[in-house]
Amino acid sequence: MDVYSPSAPLPNIPDDLTIPQFIFDCQHESRPTRRADIPWFIEDETGRKIGEDELRNRTSGLALGLRSKFGIKEDDVVLIFSRNHVDYPVAIWAVHRLGGVISGANPDFASNELVYQLEQTKASIIIVHPDSLETALAAAKTVGFPSERVVVFDRSSGSRSGIVDRLTIGDLVKQGLTTHDSPFVEKRLKPGEAKTKLAFLSFSSGTTGKPKAVAIPHFAVIANVIQIAAHNNVNKDYCAFEDQRYRPGDVAIAVLPFYHIYGLVINLHFILFSAMSLVVVPKFNFVEMLNSIVRYHISHLLLVPPQVVLLCKHPAVKNYDLRKYVRLIMCGAAPLSHELNQQLFELLPDAHIGQAYGMTETCTATSMWPITQKRGNSGSAGQLLPGTIARVLKTDGTLAGYDEVGELLIKTPSVALGYANNVQATKETFIDGWVRTGDEVKIDKNGELWILDRLKEIMKVKGFQVAPAELEGCILDHKDVSNACVVGIPDDYSGEVPLAFVVLTSDAARSVKDDPSAAEKIKASIIKHVADNKVSYKHLAGGVEFRTSIPISPSGKLLRRILRDEAKALKAGKAIKAKAKL
């Protein structure tokens, strides 16, 4: 059974534009008019406001500087190894104006991880944040990459850090604007060419082996921005202005990294398309985010589950009147539990709150909570975006009906071209226009998509399937828990049983430090909490282990594979101790 979007019709998507041409010059029916007093960006550290004229000027200057200094041309790859920066989008658009390709890398990578991405992309230059320069130079040396082709972003005017003695993006902008070289004529794409013209090599999260370079064309980003705008009735007078979801002049925060697809497409390009301002934050710090909300009257928070957990659990929240400012929270990258949703609803009872679902291979969102509801249904990933079609494939290979469980397959205008230099992986995931997501889902008769879990993360306990996300939601509702991750460990009787890694609240952690016997009492309390709220085969038969933090990927997903290995080691260690006692 094919399920179609119940949302608004899909408007026209231009297929002959590059992303900067779309962002700067396209007058689309879904795009509201930006008033002259609405800045595009606000630099979080300094409050500096940046408007369209400055962005156009810097983008043109940088494009000319990159061409003049480094000879960047059609199809060359520029790797950006940086935290968020107000010049990050300028670098993207400048490279795109030259016909080049951008690959964003996690600035917290170790040198060997950056080496892998450099080798996979065959980058021509690296643009790096000053804080990551040492790692970038070490990686460049490893692969024989010329150090003079490593360029740094300028530090903000409010930075107290030292100045890096190296060519900066600001230097290249000045060089480009003062060069006497003949100005280049920006390429105009032929009709349909945007569907194949490569814009990004965005790496998947690597939860199934080594990360793969997802080849994303210009059209995919443009299509997804328009899909999201159409779904949310952007630029339509569909209700009272104060209740509209996205309005010109609203202010969003960019704590999601621009190198990740969620931050890149939705938090950056969609927000700008919607005539909103974006507060650019280099590195996420929760308390500083709360301060920024008040300082800049931030109305829109685009978050991932660990950040939502902090909103619901962090003691500092009570010191801020968030209801005065925040009017929308979108959560993506992983499912939110029912319990966490309810806590969020109670924290901000007047706000639009809901979840979205997508992946790098579909160039971000494929579903979002309906525009007809202020609140998304708890646990639901919403309804399909305009132009999107879904199938649910059962384990026997047949198509599921409503409320039947299986793997989600997606067909969308924003689909990627495949995995660069990986024919086999492309064949396995991109099949006749469909993307195999690897996510187990069900779709109800209202067209609501329910993400149950990653297929490989589903536990099978006594023959029953158990989704870790469900148990994590329950555990997070315990008063002593600030974060949790559940994995399955082998069990002779049940096949597999759930084990919970838990991060305690600061108060509970102090209690354990002051009185070690409190640890076992809290563990027993958590186990009882789950037993009181879940059917017997979902109980924490594997026990509870305390941790100071839960490892997460850049996109906010729990890195379950790391904790799964840790759980096996713990189980093996306990078995050895048991044998020693015998």
What separation in angstroms does the CA of 206 have from each of 83, 108, 364, 367, 418? 20, 15, 16, 22, 15
pLDDT of residue 576: 47
Confidence of residue 578 (pLDDT cuts 50, 70, 90): very low
* Segment 526-538, tens digit of pLDDT: 999 999 888 788 8
Amino acid at 377: N
Residue 414 has pLDDT above 80, yes or no: yes
* Segment 46-80, tens digit of pLDDT: 999 999 999 999 999 999 999 999 999 999 999 99
- Higher pLDDT residue, 568 or 117? 117
pLDDT of residue 575: 54
pLDDT of residue 31: 97
| Main-chain dihedrals φ then ψ at residue 563, nearest 5 degrees | -75, -30
Task: Specify whether the CB–CB gap between 441 and 408 falls below 8 A.
Answer: yes
Residue 400 has pLDDT above 50, yes or no: yes
Residue 158 has pLDDT above 60, yes or no: no
Sheet containing 495-504: order of strands: 481-491, 495-504, 544-546
Q: Average pLDDT over the chain, rounded to whole?
A: 91
CATH dotted code for 1-48+222-455: 3.40.50.12780
Measure the CA–CA gap between 506 and 164, rounded to whole angstroms: 38
Confidence of residue 265 (pLDDT cuts 50, 70, 90): very high
pLDDT of residue 206: 36
Query: Which residues, including other chains, have CB under 8 Å from residue 409's CB and lie 6 or more apart?
Result: 390, 391, 392, 393, 431, 434, 435, 436, 437
Task: Specify whether the CB–CB gap between 252 and 352 falls below 8 A.
Answer: no
Please tell me if the domain spanning 1-48+222-455 has the same topology as the one spanning 51-188: yes
pLDDT of residue 582: 45
7 CB neighbour count, 10 Å cutoff:
24
pLDDT of residue 552: 85
Residue 157 has pLDDT above 70, yes or no: no
What does the block give as tokens for 255? Answer: 């704590």
Cα angle 377, 383, 385 (rounded to 5 degrees) comes to 145
What does the block give as tokens for 90? Answer: 């300028």
- Higher pLDDT residue, 451 or 92? 92
Residue 159 has pLDDT above 70, yes or no: no
CATH class of 51-188: alpha beta
Mean pLDDT of 533-560: 86
Confidence of residue 490 (pLDDT cuts 50, 70, 90): confident
* Segment 248-261, tens digit of pLDDT: 999 999 999 999 99
Beta strands in 455-577 (DSSP E): 459-461, 464-466, 481-491, 495-504, 544-546
pLDDT of residue 438: 86
pLDDT of residue 165: 80
Q: Nearest-CA neighbor of 540 among 579, 578, 486?
A: 486
What does the block give as tokens for 533? Answer: 């709220």
Percent of the residues in the chain that have a pLDDT greater than 90, as a whole number? 74
Quickly name the fold that domain 458-581 has: GMP Synthetase; Chain A, domain 3 (3.30.300)
Measure the CA–CA gap between 177 and 183, rounded to whole angstroms: 10
* Segment 177-188, tens digit of pLDDT: 987 666 677 889
Confidence of residue 433 (pLDDT cuts 50, 70, 90): very high
Residue 440 has pLDDT above 70, yes or no: yes
- Break the chain into its structural domains and give their ranges: 1-48+222-455, 51-188, 458-581
Residue 579 has pLDDT above 50, yes or no: no
Measure the CA–CA gap between 489 and 499, rounded to whole angstroms: 7
* Segment 335-393, tens digit of pLDDT: 777 888 889 999 999 999 999 999 999 999 999 999 999 999 988 999 999 999 999 99
Q: What stretches of 320-434 show up as alpha helix (H) in DSSP?
A: 338-347, 423-429
Measure the CA–CA gap between 253 and 97, rounded to whole angstroms: 26
Percent of the residues in the chain that have a pLDDT greater than 70, as a whole number? 93
Query: Which residues, including other chains, have CB under 8 Å from residue 423's CB and lie 6 or more apart?
Result: none
Measure the CA–CA gap between 445 and 403, rounded to whole angstroms: 7
* Segment 277-325, tens digit of pLDDT: 999 999 999 999 999 999 999 999 999 888 888 999 899 999 999 999 9
* Least confident residue range of 99-113, 149-163, 213-227, 541-555: 149-163
